[in-house]
Structure 1
């Protein structure tokens, strides 16, 4: 699908969304493969369209998040951070029962397979600075998403 931050590519099985990729350098992971759809992907496109229009602030989609136990816990914590809210890497580590694990938290955040829907863009340094973003075109993509949700940042 097209979006204000570039093309998005969603994958799903019959039960859940399994990935969301944001175009980087005019490319997506599955470019060149035939497009497919199912009711779940159609609903995800509808909800993402509403999100980008500013009329949706939560997503109601089944997700399958594949990763290590630590990554899955970080992603579970991210799902608790709502529209217009932010969390620091340290707060995420504390919530996951791993205080002082900022670097590991950053790695888990960066490995999030379903950005936007699992709002990894809402993670900032404790001083509100943007420390990076691995999806799309990196920091400019994160800035757009933060600004879209009116989340202050430096």
Structure 2
């Protein structure tokens, strides 16, 4: 009986081939989505971008594979790991967790939100660093000022947490409320923006 010979895999060669693929994946050959992961003080983040801009930021608890499958269904199935393409976004996240106050400077793609939810995301982008707003006060700024529950849903389904700062929305009684990354993460982000230091 003969067995097939499998040559050893050179990781450096594979990385070079992937970098070449990434460099060539432009224009008509561009994938629908590029992604990379980041290790951050609040856990691993998945950052996904289309040619239009960053379209999704996902916390580890959401499940990387599940998020990518959902994006393949909703945006397009051609997805490529492209760390270098997302270096500018990665630098912003690093700076944010180090206490930088600058809003996200890169283009964003908001196609995953529509209608009233998209309107809420637009208002969320105006909430300054270090400030909090209640769900009721945020609703009052929208075209449906009594739609407090719908505002909560828009925050809970925000496809771009941190980039669009839904963590700055809290309940009227001062409690933090729900958060896609978990309430403990929301508390830490609010503390970071209040003190400039992320608590353990």
TM-score w.r.t. structure 2 length? 0.68
Structure 1: which 5+ residue stretches go unaligned? none
Higher Cα radius of gyration: 2
Whether the 8 Å contact between 1:47 and 1:56 is mirrored in structure 2 is no
**2:81 is the alignment partner of 1:35:** yes
Aligned length: 146
Whose RCO is larger (CA < 8 A, sep 6+)? 1
Q: 2:165 matched to 1:119?
A: yes
5 Å-filtered alignment, 1:37-116, equals 37-39=83-85, 41-66=86-111, 67-116=113-162
- Report if aligned partners of 1:81, 1:87 keep a CA contact under 8 Å in 2: yes
Q: Which residue is 1:7 aligned to?
A: 44
Tell me by how many angstroms 1:64 deviates: 1.1
Contact kept? 1:20, 1:114, Cα under 8 Å: yes
Matching residue of 1:147 = 191
Cα distance in structure 1, aligned partners of 2:119 and 2:100: 28
- Which residue of 1 is the match for residue 174 of structure 2? 128
Shift of 1:122: 0.3
Superposition deviation, residue 38 in structure 1 = 4.6
Structure with greater proportional helix content = 2
> Normalised by the size of structure 1, how large is the TM-score?
0.87
Q: Contact 2:50 / 2:109 at 8 angstroms: preserved in 1? A: no
Task: Give the distance between the partners of 1:60 and 1:10, measured in 2 at CA.
Answer: 15
